[in-house]
C-alpha cells in the first residue's frame, strides 16, 4: 500500500510473499554489514551495524517486514557467528524490536523520508532500549554503552539511513 506521492512507503502483510522476500534481503544486509564492521577493532559496539537494515526495512516496508528483520537478524547472526553473544542477545532483540516499531510508526505518521523523523526513530529506540538494558543489567554504565561509544553508529543510522531511504524512495 503506497502512502506518499513523494516516497513510496508500504505496509506489507504477512500473507504477502514480498514481506518474506524483503525480509530475506534485509536480514542478509544485517548479516553482511556486521561482518564487515567487525573487521575494525570494536566495530560492532561502535558502529551498531545490526540495526541498520532493520531501520530501512521497517521505514520502507512497514512493521511486519521490520519486525521479522529485527528478530531474525540477531538470531541468525548469533547462530552463525556467535555475535551478538548469548549474554547480549536479549537486549539486541529488544532494541531491534523497538527500532522496527518506532521506524514503522514514524514512516506511517510522516508519510515521507524525513531527516528529523529518522533522528526521532534512532533516539527513541536507543533511549527506551537503554532503559530496558539498565533494568535487565542493573548497571547504568553498561546500559549507556551505545551513547558512550556508539555515537558513530547512531550517526550512521541517522544520516546513512536517511540517504539510503531517499535513494530508494521511488521504488
Q: pLDDT tens digits for 100-132?
A: 999 999 999 999 999 999 999 999 999 999 999
Please report, for residues 25, 31, 42, 82, 158, the alpha-carbon distance to residue 79 in angstroms, rounded to integers and kept in the order given: 18, 11, 20, 6, 28
For residue 17, the model assigns a pLDDT of 98
The residues, any chain, with a CB within 8 Å of residue 97's CB and separated by 6 or more, are 67, 70, 71
For the whole model, what pTM was predicted?
A: 0.95
The residues, any chain, with a CB within 8 Å of residue 171's CB and separated by 6 or more, are 8
Average pLDDT over all residues of the chain: 95
For residue 7, the model assigns a pLDDT of 87
C-alpha cell of residue 93: 532483540
Q: What is the mean pLDDT of residues 147-163?
A: 98
Residue 133 has pLDDT above 70, yes or no: yes
3-state secondary structure of 170: coil
Amino acid at each position: 500500500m503506497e502512502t506518499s506521492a513523494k516516497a513510496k512507503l508500504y505496509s506489507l502483510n504477512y500473507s504477502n510473499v514480498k514481506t518474506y522476500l524483503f525480509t530475506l534481503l534485509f536480514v542478509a544486509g544485517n548479516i553482511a554489514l556486521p561482518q564487515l564492521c567487525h573487521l575494525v577493532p570494536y566495530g560492532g559496539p561502535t558502529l551498531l551495524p545490526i540495526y541498520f537494515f532493520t531501520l530501512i526495512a521497517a521505514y520502507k516496508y512497514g512493521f511486519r517486514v521490520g519486525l521479522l528483520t529485527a528478530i531474525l537478524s540477531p538470531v541468525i547472526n548469533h547462530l552463525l557467528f556467535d555475535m551478538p553473544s548469548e549474554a547480549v542477545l536479549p537486549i539486541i532483540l529488544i532494541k531491534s524490536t523497538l527500532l522496527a516499531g518506532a521506524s514503522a510508526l514514524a514512516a506511517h505518521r510522516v508519510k515521507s523520508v524525513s531527516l528529523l523523523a529518522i533522528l526521532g526513530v534512532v533516539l527513541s529506540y536507543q533511549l527506551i532500549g537503554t532503559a530496558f538494558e539498565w533494568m535487565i543489567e542493573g548497571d547504568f554504565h553498561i546500559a549507556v554503552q551505545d551513547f558512550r561509544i556508539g555515537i558513530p553508529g547512531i550517526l550512521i543510522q541517522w544520516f546513512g539511513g536517511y540517504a539510503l531511504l531517499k535513494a530508494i524512495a521511488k521504488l
